[in-house]
Amino acid sequence: MHARGIGAVLLGLAWLGALPRDATATDTPVPAARAQREPVEIIVYGDPFARWDGTRWLVHTQVGMPTPFTLVAIRNKATEVVGIDTRFVMACEKTWRTGDHRFEVDCTLEDVSLQVAPYRNGVPDAVSAQVVTELVGHLEGGALQIIVSDDGRIVDIGLTSLEDEGDQRAIALRQQARLLLARAMLGFQLKLPGPGRIQGGQWVEYDSPLFDLPITTTKAGLPSGGAPRAPVTVNGISSSYIVHQLDRYKGHLVVQSLGEAAIGIGGDATGPASIFQVSMDGVALFDEGSGVLTERVWAFRGRASAGSALSNGRAAPYYFNTGRFVLLGEDDHPDLPDSGVVSAPGAPSRDDAPPWPPFQ
């Protein structure tokens, strides 16, 4: 990892509390016209897809699930988890232009680590470990296909390396693998003011897929009750925004981000059964010379509202998503931890499972 980049990120995190009053995560969203007032300057880069041109990345995310998340193996085994720590190294190449403003990017997963905190539902840890081992075996060396746009958005994410066996269990396995990787890849989503354009001052991003919630649906399509069927993402957003602010620091362009969303899951035509209030903050580093987004850290925190169906008179379910990615050099080969079972986030470690890993 690059010490200079890490130092700038930490400094950027310290600056989060210094954003202007109209950009705090607890205030009313800033109107776009107001957020873009008095731009310091506008920088336009010739290749807005440069970060995908023969680059390698280390990606690390931790997700605390709002409902137990089902992981399945191809044959007979399944487990439910409440926390997932995902780390991988990937090498990416631009492949072909899909339109005037989009490119397809193919990435190879060189190394993968997956640590899960099982839901205490009687499934032995040995079974959970077997499910994790199989899933990692499917992912390592796999091919990830991404559609990206020239304004910094991730348009679509697909996992093309798993065979299409056609049965329902194989479909669930492919979907869970895709969602795990998508939680990490969506961190690359940072919508810019225009194609290859970075603007001084502030701008606002609305309806970001970063606020998607990963849940497991049942046969009835609900997030709780009954036998789980397949993991999905839900983004029934009633309102969301992210305010980005750019500053310079020692040859880097530092973008600080703060945002909020209200996300509805479950329910019927009359309205959602549960509402999650989610806040986000993050810091990103752009190389000033190339415009490449070289590093980003982000954190999402959310809880279901007191009247939500998922609360059901109990403590409100929580959700968190913390992540980081960093651009690697050709000779960088970071060591990833062994895959397996760990204790739940915030819970005391058990004798038969290591503690939840600290985020680094």
Amino acid 29: pLDDT? 43
Going by pLDDT thresholds of 50, 70 and 90, the confidence category of residue 1 is: very low
Q: What is the pLDDT of residues 76-110, one digit of tens each?
A: 788 889 899 999 999 999 998 888 899 999 999 99
Q: Is the pLDDT of residue 232 over 90?
A: no
Q: What is the pLDDT of residues 45-60, one digit of tens each?
A: 888 999 999 999 999 9
Residue 358 is classified by DSSP as P
Residues 6+ apart with CB under 8 A from 356: 83, 85, 117, 342, 343, 344, 345, 346, 347, 349
Amino acid 99: pLDDT? 81
Lookup: tokens for 287: 């190389």
- The answer to whether 311 and 87 have CB atoms below 8 angstroms apart is no
Q: Which of 342, 354, 341, 346 is nearest to 135 (CA)?
A: 341
Q: What is the pLDDT of residues 291-331, one digit of tens each?
A: 899 999 999 998 887 767 666 555 556 889 999 999 999 89
Instruction: Give residue limits of the domains in the chain.
Output: 3-341
Q: Which of 328, 327, 323 is nearest to 285 (CA)?
A: 327
Lookup: tokens for 185: 């890849």
As a whole number of angstroms, the distance between CA 278 and CA 298 comes to 13
Amino acid 313: pLDDT? 53
* Beta-carbon-side half-sphere exposure of residue 360 (alpha carbons within 13 Å): 12
pTM of the model: 0.82
As a whole number of angstroms, the distance between CA 92 and CA 197 comes to 22
Residue 29 is classified by DSSP as P
Q: What is the pLDDT of residues 283-293, one digit of tens each?
A: 999 998 888 99
Residue recorded with tokens 């989503």:
189
Amino acid 10: pLDDT? 42
- The answer to whether 214 and 179 have CB atoms below 8 angstroms apart is yes
Q: Is the pLDDT of residue 37 over 70?
A: no
Residue recorded with tokens 């390592």:
140
**Chain mean pLDDT for the chain:** 79
Task: Report the percent of the chain where pLDDT is more than 70.
Answer: 75
Tally: H helices and E strands in the chain: 4, 16
Q: How many residues does the chain have?
A: 360
Amino acid 237: pLDDT? 54
Amino acid 324: pLDDT? 96
- Which pairs with CB-CB distance under 8 Å and at least 24 residues apart come from 285-290? 285/5, 285/8, 285/9, 285/12, 285/252, 285/253, 285/254, 285/255, 286/198, 286/252, 286/253, 286/254, 286/255, 287/251, 287/252, 287/253, 288/43, 288/248, 288/251, 288/252, 288/253, 289/251, 290/45, 290/50
